[in-house]
Structure 1
Amino acid sequence: MNSRQELEQIAIRAAKEAGCLIRQKCGRAARMELKASEYDLVTEVDKACEEIVRRHVAEHCPTHQILGEEGVAPGAEASAKALAESREAEFLWIIDPIDGTTNFVHGLPYSVVSIGIAHRGEVVVGVIYDAFRDELFTARLGEGAYLNGERMTVSEEATLPQALLATGFPVDVRRARAINMRGMNALASTVRNFRAVGSAAMHLAYVAAGRLTGFWEADLNAWDLSAGSLLVQEAGGRVTDTRGTDYDLGVRHIVATNGRVHEELVKVLVESQATGYETE
């Protein structure tokens, strides 16, 4: 059986090969298709990058299962169903081949490869690779989080007025995007500022690296969150859903912070009805 270190090395090699393709093709994708809506994009490069990761898994870990974004039908219901069917596997690779596809299509160099590896439903390895900056974010459960081999720790801001927060603009413009906007409106007069780079995995990696104080967003998938959630926790931060319940693979509405502002941020989201759970 592969050790966690061996699994991490396989994931790193796969992520770097896929990342090289992303860097080469950024802004030059030959074909673009719509998924759930005109805001939800996929290209032939997304599919090629996922195939790269699948090839590495098949070669080195042929008995492991794979949950990849491009192998699942669009929409939250299909994503939840696919996760439910695979989450209890002994080993499950959870792949987002290009997190930040809209950026990629528009030639913005803010896209990453995200690979989480779960053992019986618990994420034990996380790898996020940003080929544009050659930044490799890695974590193994219980062993810390690293950026290009150097230990990462979350930031030290203690209050929301000191906080630099990130969020996203979900493809579901009628519901999830409106929920995030309610949160932004509620926080705007309190926090230092907001950032949105268009990649949930990158936001989580930046929380782990101390570049952001926290990140929240409604209606994300397991492949958006699995690797980054482990990075944040191993860097000393906290990850829950938007109501404050501890993270697991089924969480779709996420809050990840340095831990110091976590309760305060969750409180604002709950009070402003911006958790994503209000109509569920």
Structure 2
Amino acid sequence: MHPLLNIATLAARSAGGNIMHHLDRIDQLNIEQKGKNDYVSEVDKEAENTIIQTIRKYYPDHHILAEESGKLTLKNKKSDIEWIIDPLDGTTNFLHQFPQFCVSIAVREKGKLQHAAIFDPVRDEMFSATRGGGAFLNNRRLRISQQKTLTNSLLATGFPYHDFSYIDSYMASLKEFMLTTAGVRRAGSAALDLAYVACGRVDGFWEFNLKQWDMAAGALLIQEAGGLVTDFKGGENYLQSGNILAANPKLYKEMAQVISRTVPVELRN
């Protein structure tokens, strides 16, 4: 395992331990509302601090982009490496003890994703990848599903929950996918959804308006498992646009056609 990935998995497991420690005492937690249907708990902050401390112990000069702390760029320190952290993806699920949440960590070097770790502490599942080295689940090599058409495929997505400006376009895409597939799942953790695409539990994924820390690790997992990840225009700007489409190459073409029919051009940017 690459040293950077080793530290990513170490940090993810440590944060997962923090999260599980609090799962049975949700009623005792301090919870803040950052915006409409957007919550942060002391567990998010504790888990993020654990990850940052682990990174700083081994790589004190690296930059960090974290959901709760923002961009931590060290003054007078030059580094090509940035860690992208979501300490608890699926906070709302966690706060309801709905067992679908994870820790997501990605490492970007010179602007390109190189390493990824997504840890599901409930199932003790560690998804990991290094660019050019493949994707793994608890040391078992992953391959994306080989579903060739939307018919019989199972897709994952995320519903709008705080920004409803694009809800009509989203509902149009959801309607078409519902009518042409075996089903659509909305489990509430984009990072885990992407990991599930990488391991073939779902065949494809699309969502609007995500953040970099929601997507970075999962995107690399899918690519290393043989899949395609793009924005809604078919480009590589998904980390900036927040719009992401992922599947195996054959299914991707059909999903992209649905997006092109249902999402206006101005919303694909």
* Fold match (TM-score > 0.5): yes
User: 2:169 is matched with which residue?
Assistant: 179
Q: Is the 8 A contact 1:242 1:276 kept in 2?
A: no
Does the C-alpha gap of structure 1 residues 195 and 27 become closer, same or farther in structure 2, counting only changes over 3 Å? Answer: farther
In structure 2, list runs of 5 or more residues that go unmatched.
Answer: none
Partners of 2:179 and 2:239 lie apart in 1 by: 32
Give 1:58's aligned amino acid: R
What is the Cα deviation at residue 172 of structure 1?
Answer: 2.7
Give 1:47's aligned amino acid: K
What is the Cα deviation at residue 82 of structure 1?
Answer: 9.0
Partners of 1:27 and 1:158 lie apart in 2 by: 42
Matches within 5 A, 1:180-259: 180-247=170-237, 249-259=239-249
Please report the TM-score for the alignment, with normalisation by the length of structure 1.
0.89
Give 1:70's aligned amino acid: E
Q: Is the 8 A contact 2:238 2:244 kept in 1?
A: no
User: 1:67 is matched with which residue?
Assistant: 65
Q: Deviations along 1:4-39, whole A, 9 cap, x unmatched?
A: 7001111111100111121221263311111122x1
Does the C-alpha gap of structure 1 residues 47 and 172 become closer, same or farther in structure 2, counting only changes over 3 Å? Answer: same
The range that moved more, 197-206 or 267-276, is 267-276
Q: Is 2:56 the counterpart of 1:42?
A: no
| Structure 1 residue matching 2:85: 3-state secondary structure | strand
Partners of 1:112 and 1:22 lie apart in 2 by: 9
Identity of aligned residues (%): 40
Q: Is the 8 A contact 2:104 2:117 kept in 1?
A: yes
User: 1:56 is matched with which residue?
Assistant: 54
User: 1:7 is matched with which residue?
Assistant: 4
1:97 to 62, 87, 90: 87
| Structure 1 residue matching 2:249: 3-state secondary structure | coil
Q: Is the 8 A contact 2:64 2:72 kept in 1?
A: no
Q: Deviations along 1:36-77, whole A, 9 cap, x unmatched?
A: 22x1111010000000000011100001000000013xxxxx
Partners of 1:218 and 1:274 lie apart in 2 by: 13
Q: Deviations along 1:140-172, whole A, 9 cap, x unmatched?
A: 001000000010000011001121000002333
Give 1:243's aligned amino acid: K
Matches within 5 A, 1:44-193: 44-72=42-70, 90-193=80-183
Partners of 1:163 and 1:274 lie apart in 2 by: 24
| Structure 1 residue matching 2:105: 3-state secondary structure | strand
